[in-house]
Amino acid sequence: MVIFFCWIVLSSILLFYLGNRQVGTFAPNLDWGSSTLEIEALGVQPQSGFQLVHVFEKHCVCNRWAKAHITQLTEDLVLPTNSQYFINIEKLNDAGFVLPATPAVLIFSAGRLIYAGPYASGAHCAVEDSLIAPILKKKLILPGLWLNGNVNTCRCILS
């Protein structure tokens, strides 16, 4: 009985650790490099309304939750696919913008960057915890650029 109890406790601790090792502050050192970026630098022509640029690191375990978040937001907000772009981190770095972690979304309004950071707070990027839905629904009007690095979320820190 004692061995079984110890096995349950150790297994629970291990599963908790493995399931949450990527959860933490999105940008603990807040080093974003340049804080300005025009969408043209990414090879995208500006449009009226919002344009979303999704950035993923290939092997990040958090990608599955962010992609589910994108799917849900696209359906709920009827976001056109021609206003959403997927780029790799190298292309973003070449444009002079350094992200501290992924997955991340950059929101542009009329070609101007207004938000960069995670999709949601929490370990699973749930739509209910969305940081970007209020922006896209125009319930939150940003006075300037929001480099959102202080939220706890699932992320893979970039070196």
Residue 100: HSE in the Cβ half-sphere, 13 Å Cα cutoff: 21
Query: How is the chain split into domains, by residue range?
Result: 2-157
- The per-residue pLDDT for 54 is 95
DSSP category for residue 119: S
Nearest to 101 by CA among 44, 64, 148, 50: 148
54-107, pLDDT tens digit by residue? Answer: 999 888 988 988 888 888 888 887 788 789 999 988 998 888 888 889 999 999
Q: Are 22 and 79 in contact (CB under 8 A)?
A: no
Buried-exposed string 97-115: b where 16+ CB fall within 10 A, e elsewhere: bebbbbbbbbbbbeeebbb
52 close to 79: Cβ distance less than 8 angstroms: yes
pLDDT at position 107: 95
Q: Which residues pair with 23 in a beta bridge?
A: 154
Q: What is the pLDDT of residue 142?
A: 86
Report percent pLDDT > 70 for the chain.
82
Question: Topology of 2-157 in CATH?
Answer: Glutaredoxin (3.40.30)
Tokens of 158: 């970039």
- 2 sits in the region (left: phi over 0; alpha: psi -120 to 50; else beta) called alpha
Give the mean pLDDT of the chain. 82
Average of pLDDT values for 7-32?
63
Q: Say what percent of the chain tops pLDDT 90.
A: 23
At 66 the pLDDT is 87
* Mean pLDDT (whole number) for 1-15: 62
Q: Are 152 and 24 in contact (CB under 8 A)?
A: yes
Summarize the confidence of residues 38-47 as an average pLDDT. Answer: 91
Distance CA 24, CA 62 (A): 12
